[in-house]
Amino acid sequence: MQVLNPSADHLDALASASEDAARLLRAMGHGARLRILCALVQGELPSGEIARQVGIREPAASQQLALLRAERLVETRREGQKVLYSVANPIVLRILRELQASFCPAP
C-alpha cells in the first residue's frame, strides 16, 4: 500500500478549494436563496417575478439577491428600467440541476 504524502502546495490548494466550496454551500444553504436560484435555472427574471415565484415579499427577495450577487452566484443585466437576474456560476447550475433531479419530482 502506498502512503500519500501530499506536498505543502497541494495542502494549501486543497484548503483554499475547500473554503471556496464551503462558502458557496453556505450561500446556497438558505431556503429562500435556494428557491431563488432554482427559479433562475430557467433563465433571467426581474426581482418582482422572483419574489412572486419564490413566495416571499419583494424586499426580502432583494435582500437575498444582494447577498447572492455579493457571493457572485447571480449577476444582473439592465433592460430599460428592469434589472434582470441570472445564475452567474456554472458550478451552481450543475448543483441546482442535481438537487432538482434528487428532490423535485417531475409533475
Annotate the chain with three-state secondary structure.
CCCCCCCHHHHHHHHHHHHHHHHHHHHHCCHHHHHHHHHHCCCCEEHHHHHHHHCCCHHHHHHHHHHHHHCCCEEEEEECCEEEEEECCHHHHHHHHHHHHHHCCCC
Question: What are the tens digits of pLDDT across the range 57-96?
Answer: 999 999 999 999 999 999 999 999 999 999 999 999 999 9
Q: What is the pLDDT of residue 17?
A: 81
Give me the CATH code for the 9-103 domain, please: 1.10.10.10
pTM for the complete prediction?
A: 0.81
Q: Binning pLDDT at 50, 70 and 90, where does residue 9 land?
A: confident
